[in-house]
Chain A
Amino acid sequence: MNLTDLLAAAPEMTLLGLICVVLVADLFVEEERRVITFWLTMVSLAITAWAVFETAPVGRVLIFDGSYVSDALSQVLKIGVIAAVAVTFLYSRDYLRANDLHKGEFYLLGLFGVLGMMVMISANSLLTMYMGMETLALSLYALVAIDRTNVTSAESAMKYFVLGAIASGCLLYGISWIYGATGTIEFHQLADRIASDPSVNNLALWFGLAFLLVGIAFKFGAVPFHMWVPDVYQGARSPVTLYLGSAPKIAALALTLRILVDGFGGLYGVWSDMVMVVAVLSLVLGNLIAIVQSNIKRMLAYSTIGHVGFILLSIFTGTEQGYAAALFYTLTYVISAVGAFGMIILLSRRGYEAENLSDFKGLNARSPWFAIIMMFMMFSMAGIPPFIGFFGKLNSIDAVLTEGYTGLAILMVLASVVGAYYYLRVIWYMYFEEPADQAVLLTSTDTRLVMSLNGVAVLALGLLPGWLWTLCLQVLHGH
Chain B
Amino acid sequence: MNQVFWYATRSTGVVATVLAIGSLVLGLFFSARNTGAKRPAAWWLDLHNYLGGLALVFTGAHILASLLDPDSGIGIVQALVPGTAHAAAWAMTWAVLATYTFCIAVFTSWPKRRFSRRVWRWLHLTSVAGVAFGGIHAYQLGTDATATTFEIGLLVGAAFGIYAVALRTISAIARAAGR
Q: Do A and B come from one complex?
A: no
Chain B residues in contact with chain A, CB under 8 A? none
Chain A residues in contact with chain B, CB under 8 A? none
